Amino acid sequence: MAAMAAALRGPAGCFRWQTRALAGGVRGAAGQRDYDLLVIGGGSGGLACAKEAAQLGSKVAVVDYVDPSPRGTRWGLGGTCVNVGCIPKKLMHQAALLGGLIRDARHYGWEVAQPVPHDWRKMAEAVQNHVKSLNWGHRVQLQDRKVKYFNIKASFVNEHTVCGIAKGGKETLLSADHIVIATGGRPRYPTHIEGALEYGITSDDIFWLKESPGKTLVVGASYVALECAGFLTGIGLDTTVLMRSIPLRGFDQQMSSLVTEHMESHGTRFLRGCILSRVRRLSDGQLQVTWEDQASGKEDTGAFDTVLWAIGRVPQTRSLNLEKAGVDTNPDSQKILVDAREATSVPHIYAIGDVAEGRPELTPTAIMAGKLLAQRLFGGSSDLMDYDNVPTTVFTPLEYGCVGLSEEEAVARHGQEHVEMVCLREPPQLVLGLHFLGPNAGEVTQGFALGIKCRASYAQVMRTVGIHPTCSEEVVKVRISKRSGLDPTVTGC
């Protein structure tokens, strides 16, 4: 009997409802499920889907729960972007840019006493208060649209039913005709490294620190690693990046090299081709980090106040009991397999955002995919999300914006002899990708992304009149290619 009870309970609990839930979901007296749509995950994509569905007259619920990081950091409604991603990252990036502007001000005649100290506590408090205001705003928006919100950790009981466990242990069973999984991802920890969990932090923690992280080692070569290292250096902290391989894998590598070169010239140190092996706490409170240089095989150590892991992210699928619903995942990535309609292996269960296989891990794509999904389900639409030519920006000290193919991808797809300046060489010289490194790269790239989405040709870009003097006009002045061998340095208007 005890063994049978344990088997029925499962990892998530909900024992007392299990027998009637097995019949295909909880139904009311009229035979209806609790909701038309249940969204698991209160991040950007999930909230966008839920609000759009509610606007279209559907009965909608959102379940969301944040497991604390190993350090104990937790946050409110809104997902990664609002709480530990785009928003706090951009604010701290802006803080670093302001520091640079203050240092440059004296060249424009401003008498600013140097050096100008930075107060981490004051910045962090302002950033955290802003994030909390966004958390509250999301709650209000759901309430205004009559979307029911549950702060519970959900897992599937069957293909129409989920069980949610609240912080205090209370269990709630919910059923829906359609279910959307939008649980996103969390930072990856190198659990095989001694001291990684005990002493390291991630992007889940850095934005919620009350005190300055001090001398910091950022481990990784991802955009998260370089963005964090960039703003830490920019506000005056001693920062080192330890990377095993190439920076910004998947991005254009010429641009990636320029990003790291600029960072290095402005004070960020790089340890390239190194593998970290252990982290230990010293008697003075600092962290002793040991790594190996792959080229020489030599071991080296350094002392830091903070070690920040930025080595990738893992999808939040393991605790969902997807097998109970019959939802298939990629066994390697653990991401959910979806089709062009965002549908999983179970037709009425969908996945959007970072948790779905083959999708860009970008907030705006999750938002648009969520809205379009809701419109297909409840608004009679047939429009699908187009994942081609999605623009993005890496907010390193010198920002890098891009849309379309990298040079490496263009060459691999079309052949070296058919590509020039990430355009096809044959008329009408279709633009395959655009890559911009400079101030306000996101603002520049956003506008040109529309042109590329509309299949702009190189000739059309060259016929576009630039706004002078601006950074973005450089795009419409690009006339020197690598193949020409000419010097591209700008010498005048």
What is the Cα–Cα distance from 358 to 335, expressed in whole angstroms? 9
Query: Given this model, what pLDDT does residue 326 score?
Result: 98
Give start-end residues of each CATH 3.50.50.60 domain in the chain: 13-65+151-187+314-378, 196-311
Query: For residues 21-53, b (16+ Cβ closer than 10 Å) or e, as one string?
Result: beeebbeeeeeebbbbbbbbbbbbbbbbbbbbb
Parts of the chain with a pLDDT under 70: 1-31
Query: For residues 198-208, b (16+ Cβ closer than 10 Å) or e, as one string?
Result: ebbbbbbbbbb
Query: Given this model, what pLDDT does residue 13 score?
Result: 55
Helix (H, G, I), strand (E, B) or coil at 291: strand
What is the Cα–Cα distance from 93 to 82, expressed in whole angstroms? 15
Q: How many C-beta neighbours within 10 Å does residue 105 have?
A: 14
Q: Which residue has the tokens 């069980």?
A: 163
**Token pair belonging to 133:** 């205001």
Query: Given this model, what pLDDT does residue 135 score?
Result: 98
Any alpha helices (H) in 1-119, and if so which ranges? Answer: 2-9, 18-21, 44-55, 79-84, 86-105
**Token pair belonging to 210:** 């009350």
Whole-structure pTM value: 0.93
Of 381, 398, 385, 386, which is closest to residue 435 (Cα–Cα)? Answer: 398
Query: Given this model, what pLDDT does residue 492 score?
Result: 78
How confident is the model over 427-477, as pLDDT tens digits?
999 999 999 999 999 999 999 999 999 999 999 999 999 999 999 999 999
Sheet of 239-243, strand order: 200-201, 306-309, 216-219, 239-243, 269-272
**CATH number among 3.40.50.720, 3.40.50.150, 3.40.309.10, 3.50.50.60, domain 196-311:** 3.50.50.60
Query: Given this model, what pLDDT does residue 490 score?
Result: 81
- Given a contact cutoff of 8 angstroms between Cβ atoms, the answer to whether 410 and 402 are in contact is no
Query: Given this model, what pLDDT does residue 105 score?
Result: 95
Give start-end residues of each CATH 3.30.390.30 domain in the chain: 399-477
CATH for the stretch 399-477: 3.30.390.30
- Transcribe 358-425 into DSSP letters: T----HHHHHHHHHHHHHHHHS---PPP--TT--EEE-SSS-EEEEE--HHHHHHHH-GGGEETTEES
Of 356, 324, 73, 284, which is closest to residue 187 (Cα–Cα)? Answer: 73
Query: Given this model, what pLDDT does residue 488 score?
Result: 86
- Given a contact cutoff of 8 angstroms between Cβ atoms, the answer to whether 165 and 12 are in contact is yes
Task: Report, as residue numbers or ranges, the catalytic residues.
Answer: 468
Any alpha helices (H) in 111-179, and if so which ranges? Answer: 120-144
**Domain 13-65+151-187+314-378: CATH superfamily, name plus number:** FAD/NAD(P)-binding domain (3.50.50.60)
- Given a contact cutoff of 8 angstroms between Cβ atoms, the answer to whether 25 and 175 are in contact is yes
